[in-house]
Chains A and B, each alone.
Chain A
């Protein structure tokens, strides 16, 4: 059977379009999503198929349209909000953090918020600090939301479709640097369940755990380390909330080593959470403490070389692995 190869951005669009055909309550709104075909062409052609009542161009007004979508979700619609960048979500902090994830709780179960908020997350495009946010560190702190970070085109489709069908609010973090990535994506209905990590590369010496784009940095590092005779098992966590700690623990109990790679800052982050949980579950199995590789603890720089050094790149990961394994 021949594989169907499409881009990451096409996979995202396919998930949205299929769910919109299935469910009239689903609609997409955001800046430039309709007539402009999306700032990154994720929603290309959707206006033609679904019309302006369901593919809705908004003004630059994140707090307003995010709040509008949350209100609509309270009444049972299933909005998809596109933030051109998660960096812009900061001006919508109150609706997305105070309303969406807390509505079910504060109303004692009366009003849920089945919304998907999606957009570009992370540095890598030389955009400087204000446009390069990795929000997973800040936002994953909040109970009531789910957080999904796909690293491959098939997951982009399957996880976004799952997000749209989910009854809870989902923060869906995409990397602009991955949108042109090509891969096999199943046609038709395709759903990837949340809370199920996947082993991207089996190995025996150390477990690398990551989410989103840095999964690729881990795979690059693993390739390089294999030449040195070091065998890395690379786990793609896929979702941060829920976190599939079981798959991670199973791997660490086998390898007896763990390096967590997270593109958000180190202080109070998914990386620190995973490290803490691994320490708790695998205390007697670890040959060394869990090592962590994050974006450098500084604002994201503009200069190309500084930005590359800032990211949790393959070189820094390889260094951490050697250190974890006491390889000089």
Chain B
């Protein structure tokens, strides 16, 4: 196992033929490539929109980590809950959120997934079982444990059957140092809760390298093992590896109804947020990781396996550029929330100045298309 700051394996070391490396069908591989290209393009355009001041607040870019969200999401079922932190655009898109709701949310428009009330860090998608988008580091870890608890409770206590679900709870390596995470792991272990804590270990919590901020940084799964969690270290820059390994982890967690902790080694190609000049790391280190770009790796593997050619790749990429452009247009045309929205969704009940709640368009559209 390489250390986190070692360069990622070069793109050409796929080695074995595709069919030996993965059980995924050509259609699945194509879909993962499409999702990663969509996320990449979405994030490039998000950065532009942020610089154009169409997006406010804090904004964290997912470029470089696409294989994690796409591979992990593919490894579980749609009904399995997913919850994550604030670098969440990639998870939302990988989970199936139409990019228009995601972009409109960042534009602060009523068509946003949360009617423009949450912003970049708070992407929620009920039809796709995405439970946020959480801005406080580590806050989502007890919540994710609760989601998994609830699924198991529904399966076993209410339905009288056996647990059928597993929950993916993503966190960054910075959250390893928050107390709530340890409480969450302890409870998950005590209560046999099938939650997988997926640490997207990109080596930095903001400007602090993992070596400077986290004890046992060379083997963080020891922290989960201390609570009795099965631990896995997975190379996170290759979507096929992520999928194949995460599928095993998820299948075990689901079948045994036990929690797990995964150290997924990845790298964010951009800064912590849009305002980060990245002075804490070298250009050399960045270039080494960039040489292992997850999109290039899957593209090359698929070309090598005869599943796509240069032309096909260009067409696929172009289609994602069009999709994101359409999402931006849609977001721009979505109105700002009416001032009355200030007082909606505070309470379910209507009283005093509070005027109840209603589902956003992302939910009503999904219900309409059913």
Contact = CB atoms under 8 A, between A and B. Distances in A.
Given A24-B157, A105-B345, A71 B139 contact: no
A188 B303 CA distance: 71
A288 interface: no
A208 B235 CA distance: 67
A77 to B, nearest CB: 5
B199 interface: no
Interface stretch (B12-20, B112-120, B277-285): B112-120
B179 interface: yes
B146 A168 contact: no
Interface residues of B, number: 56
Interface string A237-265: 00000100000000000000000000000
Contact of B118 (A68, A75, A106): A106
B347 A67 contact: no
Nearest to B341: A108
A108 B118 contact: yes
Contact of B117 (A53, A59, A66, A105): A105
B136 A106 contact: no
Interface residues of A, number: 45
B167 to A, nearest CB: 9
Interface string B76-91: 0000010100000000
B184 A168 contact: no
A110 B81 CA distance: 14
Interface centre among A25, A53, A71, A72 (most CB of B within 10 A): A71
A279 interface: no
A98 B139 contact: yes
Interface string A48-69: 0000011010110101111111
A76 B348 CA distance: 14
Given A59-B187, A74-B147, A168-B349, A67 B142 contact: yes
A167 interface: yes
Contacts of B126: 107, 110-111
A144 B347 contact: yes
Contacts of A76: 150, 154
A126 B156 CA distance: 44
Contacts of A104: 345-348, 357
A110 B114 contact: yes
A163 to B, nearest CB: 12
A249 to B, nearest CB: 14
Nearest to B351: A242
A109 interface: yes
B158 A107 contact: no
B153 A71 contact: no
B124 A111 contact: yes
Given A53-B156, A67-B145, A94 B139 contact: yes
A141 B116 CA distance: 24
Max chain A C-beta neighbours (<10 A), residue from B142, B144, B149: B142
B179 A63 contact: yes
Given A94-B136, A94-B180, A108 B113 contact: yes
Contacts of A58: 187
Contacts of B186: 59, 61, 64
B363 interface: yes
B114 A75 contact: no
Nearest to A105: B345
Nearest to B125: A110
Contact of B143 (A74, A143, A144, A242): A74
Contacts of A75: 81, 131, 146-147, 150-151, 154
Contacts of B112: 108
A30 interface: no
A95 B142 contact: yes
B137 to A, nearest CB: 10
Contacts of A87: none
A166 interface: yes
B146 A71 contact: yes
A106 B179 CA distance: 24
A95 B143 contact: yes
Nearest to A167: B348
Interface in A173-199: 195
A73 B143 CA distance: 9
Contacts of A105: 117, 345-346
A69 B349 CA distance: 21
A211 to B, nearest CB: 17
Given A94-B136, A107-B114, A168-B347, 10 more contacts: A54-B157, A59-B187, A64-B187, A69-B146, A71-B146, A71-B148, A75-B146, A99-B139, A105-B346, A112-B348
- Shortest 8 CB-CB contacts between residues of A and residues of B: A71-B146, A67-B142, A64-B183, A108-B114, A71-B143, A75-B150, A108-B115, A167-B348
28 contacts: A53-B156, A53-B157, A61-B186, A67-B141, A68-B145, A68-B187, A70-B143, A70-B146, A71-B144, A71-B145, A71-B148, A72-B153, A74-B131, A74-B143, A76-B150, A77-B154, A94-B139, A95-B139, A104-B348, A106-B114, A106-B117, A106-B122, A107-B114, A109-B115, A110-B113, A110-B124, A111-B131, A168-B347
